[in-house]
Amino acid sequence: MSYSNSIIFGPIPSRRFGISLGIDLSPNKKQCNFDCLYCELEPAKTMDKMVEYPSVKEVISEIKNSFEKHPKIDVITLTANGEPTLYPHLEELIDEINKIKNNTKTLILSNGSTIYEKDIYNALLKIDTVKLSLDCVSQKCFKKLDRIHNGIDINKIIESMILFRKETKNIFVLEVLFVKTLNDKEEEIQALYEAIKKINPHRVDIGTIDRPPAYKVQPVTFELLEKVANTFKGINVNIAFKNRPKQTQSFDETEIISMLKRRPLTKEDIENMFDENSKVILNRLLDESIVSLVDSSGVNFYKIL
């Protein structure tokens, strides 16, 4: 069949991964088992398997063509207009990509809902970076915000994420998107923190709506995201927020150490929070190996190890 939109997008420069080649496993229409209120695609009926999709052969041939034209691709990103793990031949596709990718990394961006299906769990184990969403911990919030397909169970997802983190030898990143009045209440934030501690991902990206959403919902403020980051003590939290306010302050050595003990800070956090003198102190702590700069799948964190 022919596709009105391309399977491949890119290569495009990515802030985290260098040059990224995007693979859209659902190029013609939205195919998803969620219909999130904040989705940037049009609302659509949920489904549990894709009905229209490119063959493994077509995807691999497109990747080979791109490799010939652009030999310096750093990462192949598996995504979709919808949910990429609904692609019926996911494991076979990943096996074929792994045969030809050489040093190129693989990344998948998924809503996380299918992780408890054995074949998908196994397929995810073969990908270099797995980034999954987790917007809510209570089934009520999950249903309301992510408008899930019947039968998807948040408890089973969290249990599988805990197992996955223990088993994977690769990078596992979680993403939480906060929406005003839906998952920004104290109770839900605490429940998320408890679940995230058990899952123990390498990194948690937190953010809010920054593109026109499918339904009438509102973003949360930067202050709310900062509060969440401070609640998620000891976790590598990366705040993603467009036009983040710059509020630099002066911190002494004791304050810097105690802040980093509470939570690791990204380079972006430092740029937005530290005045020049505080940065000098931080760099000295780095030179003295009291603070370390640790890479977590493309995001650098200042940490006390």
Q: Enumerate binding residues for ligand SF4 (CB under 6 A).
A: 32, 34-36, 39, 41, 82-83, 111
CB of 48 to ligand SF4, least distance (A): 12
Q: Which is nearer to ligand SF4, 48 or 268 (CB)?
A: 48
> Cα separations (Å) of 64 from 73, 77, 96, 97?
11, 14, 11, 10
Structure-token match 């490799």, residue found: 67
CB of 83 to ligand SF4, least distance (A): 5
CB of 53 to ligand SF4, least distance (A): 15
Q: Which is nearer to ligand SF4, 157 or 256 (CB)?
A: 157
Q: Which is nearer to ligand SF4, 32 or 124 (CB)?
A: 32
Per DSSP bridges, beta strands 265-266 and 299-303 are antiparallel
Q: Which is nearer to ligand SF4, 26 or 296 (CB)?
A: 26
**Residue 98 in tokens:** 């792994």
Distance in angstroms (rounded) separating the CA atoms of residues 75 and 71: 11
CB of 62 to ligand SF4, least distance (A): 21
Q: Which is nearer to ligand SF4, 35 or 226 (CB)?
A: 35
CB of 250 to ligand SF4, least distance (A): 40
* DSSP 3-state of 305: coil
Q: What share of the chain is helix, strand, coil (3-state, %, to 5)?
A: 35, 20, 40
3-state secondary structure 85-124: HHCCCHHHHHHHHHHHCCCCEEEEEECCCCCCCHHHHHHH
